[in-house]
Amino acid sequence: AGQISALPTAGQTVDLGQPNQTVVGVRALQDTLRDEARDAIRELHQFGLNGVILTGDNPRAAAAIAGELDLAFKAGLLPEDKVRAVTALSPLAPLAMVGDGINDAPAMKAASIGIAMGSGTDVALETADAALTHNRLRGLAQMITLARATHANIRQNITIALGLKAIFLVTTGLGFTGLVLAILAETG
């Protein structure tokens, strides 16, 4: 009995096989981390990003997983509780919600960006702004790297375009270039 009572404390869910009120077996189930979870969290930390686990699972199971990843957690949450948690965190910084189930979809919608796991439910995939199609958590870091590079490219292109417009505005105003060249510079 002592060993059985220790199982939930270790984050395991206990199922007693007891037909006719007689225990004939004990089954302990435990969520396991994806192989890449630690690496994915480490990569996100290198970007200066922090995470919080929002789950409907029982607090002991969530604590076991969160402890392995060194993340904060909120457990026993209903979908509306997840939305409240996301809404409370959103004013602090842009927030991404990664999920895979129906219960995650409302919180994904409330987040700055919702990211669905590729193997998630149709509702989660339809609600998400982006999806990890290969179902790999390390894709989050790749997604962030690509987004930051794209953002930098856009800023660079806008800077060059505005710089050229300014140059042609001044040179046309001073009579060094004609109106035709200024129009060509404007239209690309």
Confidence (pLDDT) at 32: 78
Q: What is the DSSP string of the chain?
A: -HHHHHHHHTTPEEEEE-GGG---EEEEE-----TTHHHHHHHHHHTT---EEE-SS-HHHHHHHHHHHT-EEE-S--HHHHHHHHHHHGGGS--EEEE-SGGGHHHHHHSSEEEEETTS-HHHHHH-SEEETT--TTHHHHHHHHHHHHHHHHHHHHHHHHHHHHHHHHHHHTTSS-HHHHHHHHH-
Question: Model-level pTM?
Answer: 0.75
Cα 54 from Cα 79, distance rounded (Å)? 10
Confidence of residue 182 (pLDDT cuts 50, 70, 90): confident
**Structure tokens of 186?**
């404007």
Cα 102 from Cα 94, distance rounded (Å)? 23
Q: Give the count of beta carbons closer than 10 Å to the beta carbon of residue 186.
A: 12
pLDDT tens profile 51-89 = 999 999 889 889 989 999 999 999 999 999 999 999 999
pLDDT tens profile 166-180 = 998 899 889 888 888
Confidence of residue 28 (pLDDT cuts 50, 70, 90): confident
pLDDT at 110 over 90: yes
pLDDT at 187 over 80: no
Average pLDDT taken over every residue of the chain: 87
Polymer length of the chain:
188
Percentage of residues of the chain with pLDDT beyond 70: 88
